[in-house]
Amino acid sequence: MPSSILSERNYLTYLGGSLFSTQGVWIQRMTLGWMMWDLTHSETWLGLLAFLMFFPVVLVGPLFGVLVDRINRRRAAVLISLLLSALAGTLAMLVKTGLVGPFGVLLFALGIGMTNSAYQAVRLSLVPELVSVPNMSRAVAINAILFNSARFIGPMIAGVLINLYGGATALAVSGACYLPLTLVLLCLKLDERARSPGDGAPRRFLADLLAGVRYARSEVLIARLLLVICCSAVLGRGLLEILPAAVDVLYGRGVEALAMLTSAAGLGSIVAGLILSVQPQARLLPALRWAALSAGAVLIVFGLNTRFEVGLVLVMLLSFCATICGVATQSLIQVSLDSAYRGRVMSLWGALNVGGGAVGGLLFGLLTEHTGYDLSLVLLGLFSVLAAGYATRGLAAPAPGR
């Protein structure tokens, strides 16, 4: 790792808090998924859970993006992290007392999804304030390494907690993991100058939102990169959202195997992040094309496979490709956009990335439950290859942002 990234003190401080919060994210995700499967044994319910947790970012993420361009981002991040901790703690108490069923889990999933939508917009706009432009792509790659290291470790922690103490304890631990992030955010040194508040009128708010959409659409590279991340999220990550069902239906295994599959996905993402963290920006586009096309091929093979050991490798490869797509598109957009539109454009990227995974989870859940895994995954894999080929065709390197 070049020494220059180590001189970014604000960024390294932020990473220290994120180290804990990302563990909480993955402990919570696995716990909720396993609880829902244990309660319903339905792929459709699992897909609906993923949909409610991640799709709100599509509906309200861009709205939060408008606010982020106006407000103090650090204060917003502190409030949101506290709210995420409170939601996890409240759900833990309800699970402990047996007062929550499938519909209750879905309700909390919606609340978590709405809150995460706000944090997604804040986080994507906050990081560029913590790191210099030359280190932007490396910072994005390191964020991916950190997040997916948690994907590797968090499910193992969740599996142990669920087996020994139950889902309530796992959820309580996930809520506690947000508290160190809150303390770190309070310690950051940022430019506290007031942002343009706007006039607060709904008409002006909507105009700002539409201006961000028009800007993203008018910039050819940004528009194409948003299309790539949409295809990758829906068709490349949808399978990862229904792993609790796949591990039971395809392999006849339990929560330990789910932890292994989820950790394999994390390992694939860690490797992708490590590779990208040492690559120059010029290599991001070729890597993006390769990963987007390969994800579809992996889906096809997964649909034809019946061995758990091979499934581990395929999940790792799928996550590897998804991380390449996510890091490359985010890095290329961050360095090429006008900073005046950063909150709004990056909220659109977040809406497509996270919301696409939600749509993919629901799509995969419905298709696999009603048409079977083999046919569904082969067809979706073929469509993924075609969509990726179209989305990555003719992409050119970005010009530096203003």
Q: What residues does each domain of the chain span? A: 3-185+203-392
- Dihedral sign (CA 400, 234, 58, 88): negative
Which region among 92-106, 151-165, 201-215, 259-273 has the lowest average model confidence (pLDDT)?
A: 201-215
Indicate the pLDDT class of residue 1, thresholds 50, 70 and 90: very low
Using the structure block, give the residue that is written with the tokens 């599996």: 159
Mean of the pLDDT values across residues 141-166?
A: 79
What letter does residue 397 receive in the DSSP assignment?
P
**Residue 259 pLDDT > 70, yes or no?**
yes
**Residue 203 pLDDT > 60, yes or no?**
no
CA distance 293 to 354: 20
CA distance 350 to 369: 28
Whole-number pLDDT of residue 199 = 46
What letter does residue 253 receive in the DSSP assignment?
-
Indicate the pLDDT class of residue 216, thresholds 50, 70 and 90: confident
Whole-number pLDDT of residue 304 = 87
CA distance 209 to 207: 5
**Residue 287 pLDDT > 90, yes or no?**
no
List all residues 6 or more positions away from 220 whose beta carbon is below 8 Å from its beta carbon: none
Whole-number pLDDT of residue 5 = 63
What CATH number should be reported for the domain whose range is 3-185+203-392?
Answer: 1.20.1250.20
Whole-number pLDDT of residue 190 = 63
Indicate the pLDDT class of residue 171, thresholds 50, 70 and 90: very high
CA distance 8 to 135: 9
Q: What is the mean pLDDT of the chain?
A: 80
Whole-number pLDDT of residue 4 = 62
pLDDT 10s digits, 362-373 = 788 788 878 888
Mean of the pLDDT values across residues 272-291?
A: 81
**Residue 402 pLDDT > 70, yes or no?**
no
pLDDT 10s digits, 293-330 = 898 899 899 888 888 889 899 989 998 998 888 888 88
pLDDT 10s digits, 329-361 = 888 887 777 767 777 787 788 778 777 777 887
Taking each helix axis from N to C terminus, what angle separates 284-304 and 308-336, rounded to the nearest 10 degrees?
150
Taking each helix axis from N to C terminus, what angle separates 373-392 and 284-304, rounded to the nearest 10 degrees?
160
pTM of the predicted structure, to 2 decimals: 0.67
Mean of the pLDDT values across residues 152-169?
A: 85
CA distance 246 to 311: 10
**Residue 15 pLDDT > 50, yes or no?**
yes
